[in-house]
């Protein structure tokens, strides 16, 4: 008897590998591998979640009116042009699904977010990987990859796993260099962590251009990774196409209530941003002091830092040493980074502990 045959492009997908929350030998550990908020969740969001959690028997509002209105008023957007999904992961999948198919090409950067290849292959499109420039997004390299088959370009800004940031000028140049029938997805999962008032111009482009989708998430700054709420903003035509393939009820009642409360808890948001900026700076400075041991931090505007190991202590040994000490970070050999660890900025104690463990491992490796 013949069994169902998966599509060949599905079998080409390397499955997503989530960050571990236990050590390989099963111990509970400090998880600095998924860029979650080390300060937890806004107390207001927790309370809103608890208050809404009893609503179990009814479907959620399929059109997410309250969430869209809250987002629209916060960011000065048209609520009709907001899409939402089960994490921004779903929104990224919707973008690929609505605008690309078998034989089309989707471009993303080397060391790009690992969901892009999955979303690309899932629809039978061909991944085109643009080379980086010392780990940062290289606009000219992306533009050089464009062909008549290009349908979508995915850019995370700041980028994951490198943390690098493409300026407003670079994003404008990228957009200006793309045909208007190519969808430019600006993935802002970490945009709130950018220091100062830096803005890559994504909102202006999404508001005015016919081909730009900005995506955002509640999983990082807002501390709601468990609730899986992401969203996006683009022209009415783009949003309408994506809605056609959206799962009808992919965000929950309690998660939505928590997200709206989190959005309005500006104290928690500011506390998280300030904490991250301060400890990211401290962590960078400490890694710089370990430069003579071959460690180098890629400049980051996100809530994590990619540390490169180019001396005697290898990234693999550091990964194992940190895990033995109860700290899980992300080693990314599958993403072409066998020499790098992506480390989420944790609490003060956690961040200091990671540096102390690295110092010890360097001494041991000598």
Instruction: Write each residue from 230 to 259 as x if it is in contact with ligand PMP (CB under 6 A), else as -, in one continuous string.
Output: x-----------------------------
Residues 6+ away with beta carbon under 8 Å from 16: 114, 115, 118
> Which listed residue (33, 37, 150, 160) binds ligand PMP by CB under 6 A?
160
Cβ closer to ligand PMP: 154 or 283?
Answer: 154
Site for ligand PMP in 196-235 (CB under 6 A): 217, 219, 225, 230
**80: exposed, middle or buried (Cβ count in 10 Å: 0-12, 13-18, 19+):** exposed
What are the backbone angles phi and psi of residue 349, rounded to the nearest 5°? -60, -45
Cβ closer to ligand PMP: 114 or 284?
Answer: 114
Cβ closer to ligand PMP: 214 or 239?
Answer: 214
Site for ligand PMP in 271-310 (CB under 6 A): none
Instruction: Write each residue from 92 to 121 as x if it is in contact with ligand PMP (CB under 6 A), else as -, in one continuous string.
Output: ---------------------x--------
Instruction: Write each residue from 54 to 93 as x if it is in contact with ligand PMP (CB under 6 A), else as -, in one continuous string.
Output: ---------------------------------xxx----
Interface with ligand PMP (CB under 6 A), residue total 12
Q: Give the shortest CB-89-to-ligand PMP separation in angstroms.
A: 3
Q: Give the shortest CB-174-to-ligand PMP separation in angstroms.
A: 17
Contact indicator for 119, 261 with CB cutoff of 8 Å = no
> Which listed residue (82, 125, 156, 318) binds ligand PMP by CB under 6 A?
156
Q: Shortest CA distance to 61 belongs to which of 44, 79, 75, 78? A: 79
Cβ closer to ligand PMP: 86 or 150?
Answer: 86
Cβ closer to ligand PMP: 186 or 205?
Answer: 186
Separation of alpha carbons 348 and 278, rounded Å: 10
- Contact between 187 and ligand PMP by CB under 6 A: the answer reads yes
| Contact set with ligand PMP (CB under 6 A) | 87-89, 113, 156, 160, 187, 189, 217, 219, 225, 230
């Amino acid at each position: 008897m013949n069994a169902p045959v998966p599509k060949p492009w599905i079998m080409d997908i390397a499955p997503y590998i989530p960050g571990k929350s236990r050590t390989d030998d099963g111990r509970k550990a400090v998880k600095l591998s998924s860029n979650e908020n080390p300060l937890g969740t806004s107390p207001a969001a927790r309370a809103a979640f608890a208050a809404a959690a009893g609503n179990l028997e009814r479907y959620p509002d399929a059109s997410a009116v309250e969430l869209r209105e809250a987002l629209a008023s916060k960011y000065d957007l048209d609520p009709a042009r907001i899409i939402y999904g089960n994490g921004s992961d779903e929104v990224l999948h919707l973008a690929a699904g609505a605008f690309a198919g078998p034989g089309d090409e989707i471009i993303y950067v080397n060391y790009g977010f690992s969901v892009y290849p999955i979303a690309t292959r899932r629809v039978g499109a061909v991944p085109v990987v643009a080379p980086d420039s010392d780990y940062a997004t290289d606009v000219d390299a992306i533009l050089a990859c464009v062909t008549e088959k290009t349908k979508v370009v995915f850019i995370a800004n700041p980028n994951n796993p490198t943390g690098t940031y493409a300026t407003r000028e670079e994003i404008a140049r990228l957009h200006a260099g793309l045909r208007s029938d190519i969808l430019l997805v600006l993935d802002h999962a970490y945009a709130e962590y950018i220091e100062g008032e830096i803005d890559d111009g994504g909102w202006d482009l999404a508001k005015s251009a016919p081909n730009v989708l900005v995506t955002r998430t509640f999983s990082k700054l807002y501390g709601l990774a468990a609730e899986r709420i992401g969203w996006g903003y683009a022209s009415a035509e783009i949003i309408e196409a994506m809605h056609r393939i959206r799962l009808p009820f992919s965000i929950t009642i309690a998660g939505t209530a928590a997200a709206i409360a989190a959005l309005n808890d500006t104290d928690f948001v500011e506390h998280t941003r300030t904490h991250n900026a301060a400890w990211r700076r401290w962590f960078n400075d400490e890694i710089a002091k370990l430069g003579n041991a071959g460690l180098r931090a890629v400049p980051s505007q996100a809530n994590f830092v990619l540390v490169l190991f180019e001396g005697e202590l290898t990234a693999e040994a550091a990964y194992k040493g940190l895990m033995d000490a109860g700290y899980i970070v992300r080693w990314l050999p599958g993403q072409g980074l066998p020499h790098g660890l992506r480390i989420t900025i944790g609490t003060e104690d956690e961040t200091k502990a990671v540096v102390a463990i690295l110092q010890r491992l360097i001494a041991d490796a000598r």
